[in-house]
Amino acid sequence: MTPIALVGIGKIALDQHVPAINASPDWTLAASVSRNGSVPGVQSFTTIEAMLDARPDIPVVSLALPPVPRFAYAVAALQAGRHVMLEKPPGATLAEIHALRDLAAQKGLSLYATWHSRMARGVAPAKAWLRAATITRAHITWREDVRKWHPGQDWVFEPGGMGVFDPGINALSILTEILPMPVHLTEATLTYPENRQTPIAATLRFSGNVTADFDWRQEGPQTWDIEVETADGTLTLRQGGAVLELDGKPQPLGQTPGEYPALYARMADLVRTRASDIDLAPMIHVADAMTLGRREVTGAFHF
Active site (catalytic) residues: 88
Residue 17 or 235 with smaller CB distance to ligand NAP: 17
Binding mask 83-102 for ligand NAP (x = CB under 6 A): ----xx--------------
Handedness of CA 175, 180, 182, 187 (dihedral sign): negative
199 binds ligand NAP, rule: CB under 6 A: no
Q: In angstroms, what CA-CA distances link 155 with 68, 164, 196, 197?
A: 9, 12, 10, 10
Residue 138 or 283 with smaller CB distance to ligand NAP: 283
Give me the residue whose beta carbon is nearest to ligand NAP.
Answer: 10
Binding positions for ligand NAP, 155-184, rule CB under 6 A: 166
Binding mask 117-156 for ligand NAP (x = CB under 6 A): --------------------------------x---x---
DSSP 161: S
Judged on CB neighbours under 10 Å (0-12, 13-18, 19+), 283 is buried
Residue 116 or 196 with smaller CB distance to ligand NAP: 116
User: CB 187 → ligand NAP: shortest distance, Å?
Assistant: 25
By residue count, the chain amounts to: 303
Of 199, 117, 151, residue with least CA distance to 10: 151
Binding positions for ligand NAP, 200-239, rule CB under 6 A: none
Is the distance from CB of 303 to CB of 139 less than 8 angstroms?
no
Residue 67 or 163 with smaller CB distance to ligand NAP: 67
* Residue from 34, 176, 191, 198 binding ligand NAP (CB under 6 A): 34
* Cα 98 to Cα 102: distance, rounded to the nearest angstrom: 6
Binding mask 236-275 for ligand NAP (x = CB under 6 A): ----------------------------------------
Phi, psi of 280 (to 5 degrees): -90, 0
Count of CB atoms situated within 10 Å of the CB of 257: 15
Residue 55 or 70 with smaller CB distance to ligand NAP: 70
Of 103, 165, 149, 142, residue with least CA distance to 240: 142
Residue 8 or 293 with smaller CB distance to ligand NAP: 8
User: CB 208 → ligand NAP: shortest distance, Å?
Assistant: 27
8 binds ligand NAP, rule: CB under 6 A: yes
* Neighbour order of strands in the sheet with 111-113: 43-45, 27-33, 2-7, 60-63, 83-86, 111-113
Q: Which one of the spans 18-26, 35-43, 102-110, 242-250 is the region binding ligand NAP (CB under 6 A)? A: 35-43
Q: In angstroms, what CA-CA distances link 166 with 36, 39, 131?
A: 23, 25, 27
Sequence letter at residue 211: T
Binding positions for ligand NAP, 39-78, rule CB under 6 A: 64-67, 69
Which residues of the shown chain bind ligand NAP in the complex (CB under 6 A)? 8-13, 34-37, 64-67, 69, 87-88, 116, 149, 153, 166
